[in-house]
Amino acid sequence: MVERLAIEGGEPVRREPWPRRVQFGEEELNAVIEVMKSGIEDSGKLWRMGGTKTKDFETEFANFYGSKYAAASSTGTAAIHLAVAACTFEPGSEVITSPITDVGTVTPILFQNLVPIFADVDPETLNVTPEAIAKCISEKTKAIIVVHLSGLLCDMDPIMELTEEHNLVVIEDCAQAHYAEYKGRIAGTIGDMGCFSLMVGKHMTSGGEGGMTITDNEEFWRKSMLFARNMFTPWTRIRFDIVFPVLNYRMTELQAAIGLVQLKKLPKIVEQRRRLGTKLAKSISHLETVKPAKVLRGTKPSYWFSIIHVDTDSIRVSLDDFAEALRREGIPVGARYTGAPMYEYEFLKDRKIYADSCPNAKRALGGVLTLSLHESCTEREVEDTVKALEKVEANYRRTS
Residue 1 lies in a domain: no
* Average pLDDT across the chain, whole number: 94
Asked if pLDDT for residue 270 goes beyond 50, the answer is yes
Identify the pLDDT of residue 236.
Answer: 46
Question: Is residue 171 classed as helix, strand or coil in its secondary structure?
Answer: strand
Mean pLDDT along residues 110-128: 96
Euclidean distance between CA atoms 57 and 47, whole angstroms: 13
Residues 225, 77 within the same domain:
yes
Residues 123-153 have pLDDT tens digits of 999 999 999 999 999 999 999 999 999 999 9
Report percent pLDDT > 90 for the chain. Answer: 86
Is residue 5 a part of any domain in this protein?
Answer: no
> Which of the pair, 355 or 3, is modelled with greater confidence?
3
Boundary of a domain, candidates 225, 244, 263: 263
* Beta-strand pair 306-310/290-292: antiparallel
Residue 7 in domain: no
- pLDDT confidence bin for 283, thresholds 50/70/90: very high
Assess if residue 344 is contained within a domain. Answer: yes
What is the pLDDT averaged over residues 166-180? 98
Quick one: 203 and 277 in the same domain? no
In a domain, residue 147? The reply is yes
pLDDT of residue 81: 98
- 254, 353: one domain: no
Residue 164, domain member (yes or no): yes
233 plus 293 within the same structural domain = no
Helices (H) and strands (E) in the chain, counts: 12, 14
Q: Strand 69-73's sheet: what is its strand order? A: 69-73, 211-215, 193-197, 169-173, 141-147, 94-97, 115-118
Same domain, yes or no: 258 and 273: no
Query: One-letter amino acid identity for 386?
Result: V
Q: Among 155, 160, 190, which Cα is nearest to 65's?
A: 190
Confidence class of residue 400 from pLDDT cuts 50, 70 and 90? Answer: low
Residue range(s) defining the domain that contains residue 285: 267-396
Distance CA 44, CA 363 (A): 53
- 218 and 289 housed in the same domain: no
- Claim to verify: residue 245 and residue 284 sit in the same structural domain: no
274 shares its domain with 257: no
The verdict on 113 and 210 lying in the same domain is yes
CA dist 55 to 217, 231, 325, Å?
18, 11, 49
Contacts of 31 (CB under 8 A, 6+ apart): 257, 258, 260, 261
pLDDT score recorded for residue 348: 84
The pLDDT tens digits for 201-218 are 999 999 999 999 999 999
In a domain, 90, yes or no: yes
pLDDT band at 339 (very low <50, low <70, confident <90, very high): confident
pLDDT higher than threshold 80 for residue 286: yes
Helix axis angle, 53-65 to 253-283, nearest 10°: 30
Q: If DSSP codes are grouped into helix, strand and coil, which group holds residue 92?
A: coil
Using an 8 Å Cβ cutoff, are 85 and 243 in contact? no
Identity of the residue numbered 39: G
Same domain, yes or no: 371 and 312:
yes
Domain end residue (candidates: 263, 278, 312): 263
- The enclosing domain of 188 has a CATH number of 3.40.640.10
Among 238, 263, 288, where does a domain finish?
Answer: 263
Is the pLDDT confidence value at 244 over 80?
no
Q: How confident is the model at residue 301 (pLDDT cuts 50, 70, 90)?
A: very high
Q: Cβ contacts of residue 91 below 8 Å, gap of 6+?
A: 112, 113, 114
The answer to whether the beta carbons of residues 306 and 370 sit under 8 Å apart is: yes
Residue 269: is it exposed, middle or buried by C-beta count within 10 angstroms (0-12/13-18/19+)? buried
Let me know whether 236 and 380 are in one domain.
Answer: no
Say yes or no to pLDDT of 292 above 70.
Answer: yes
pLDDT of residue 246: 84
Whether pLDDT at 103 is above 80: yes
Residue 185 has a pLDDT of 98
Instruction: Assign 242 a pLDDT band (cuts: 50, 70, 90).
Output: low
Whole-number pLDDT of residue 230 = 83
Number of domains the chain is built from: 2
Q: Based on the domain organization, do 202 and 303 belong to the same domain?
A: no
In a domain, 41, yes or no: yes
Q: Which residue has the higher pLDDT, 183 or 340?
A: 183
341 within 8 A of 238, measured Cβ to Cβ: no
Q: Which amino acid is at 65?
A: Y
The pLDDT score that the predictor gives to residue 355 is 55
CATH (domain of 326): 3.90.1150.10
pLDDT value, residue 238: 47
Query: What is residue 256's predicted lDDT score, i.e. its pLDDT?
Result: 97
